Amino acid sequence: MANFRFGVQLSAASNAKQWMSIVKRIESLRYSTIMVPDHFDAQLSPISALSFAAAATETVNVGTLVASNDYRHPVVLAREITTLSALSGGRVELGLGAGWLKADYESSGLSLDPPGTRVARLGESVEIMKSMFQGEELAFDGEFYHVHGAAAYPALPDEHRPRLTIGGGGRKVLDLAAKYADIVGVNPNLSFGAVGIELLLEAAPERFDEKVAHVNERLDYYGRSAELQCLSFVCEVVEDRKAWISDAATAFSVDAEAVSKLPIVLVGSVEQLIDQLETSRERYGFSYWVIHQKEFEAFAPVVEALAGR
């Protein structure tokens, strides 16, 4: 089993001073990675925010979780990420996804194609970007992209090439992740385009068992290994786990026992959370966990206990 490490998904700050204070604090608490999501609501745009984060820190990684492929051309993104990796000393984790949130497409006027089309387009983007990170001059003709002569600058040594994360919940995107990614993010399937009650079924332990089994089968097929990552849906450090879950289940009119079993719900005392994460690693192989901005201070004792173990 891989050693534990932890990331924080950040999205907001009122100014540069506050943003830099937050990222420095996260670095001091032994988190591995600072991540920024990629949506069109009230959150910072990822590349600019990560550039500030990298400049304000020395050791913590920076990355997208995840950049939505439909929002930018792969050549443009590869050049941005190459620059970020070069200037940060190779501290970049590039998270990529096919795009899923209907509200983003509606607000921007982008076309929300069927999931299979979006995943196929993501696959071409990954091929293009990986070639560019390796310093190759492209001659690529696919269904969605035609790239001739594009190159990234500057040339990156092997140890500074961005580590690639591909996250998703469907079999096609997980197959793509197993084929190409250094880090596979195993998530609920959000093909319905929003976070709703469907998440309860998609995040059930049995569904995660199926997804992880598929990833491991495909990794074996490709003769590869990858780190398995999980993005928590909620993370709460509380003394009374049972009461918190009961209250939450009542508020959303769902079954408390079902909620208590969801691997993406991290709730309990520090000791209970440590046990839960160790149990999840044994069952699913998840060693890389991501929590959210409002949770990182309270969760820090768990990181202190488990990081690198």
What are the extents of the domains in the chain?
5-235+286-306
CATH class (in words) of the domain with range 5-235+286-306: alpha beta
Alpha-carbon torsion (191, 197, 200, 201), positive or negative: negative
The CA-atom distances, in angstroms, between 264 and each of 28, 174, 290 are 25, 18, 10
**What is the pLDDT, as a whole number, of residue 303?**
98
Give the pLDDT confidence score for residue 193 in this predicted structure. 52
Residue 190 has pLDDT above 80, yes or no: no
Asked if residue 198 has pLDDT above 80, the reply is: no
The confidence score (pLDDT) of residue 197 equals 63
Choose among 84, 98, 277: nearest CA to 191.
98
Mean pLDDT over 281-287 rounds to 98
Residue 165 predicted with pLDDT over 70? yes
**Dihedral angle over CA of 293, 297, 299, 300, nearest 10:** 120
Percentage of the chain lying above the pLDDT 90 cut: 87
| Helical pair 115-133 and 74-88, crossing angle rounded to 10 deg | 40
Q: pLDDT of 93-146, one tens digit each?
A: 999 999 989 999 999 999 999 999 999 999 999 999 999 999 988 899 999 999
- Strand partners of residue 64: 36
pLDDT in the model for residue 254? 85
Q: Per-residue confidence at 27, pLDDT binned at 50, 70, 90?
A: very high
Mean pLDDT across the chain: 94
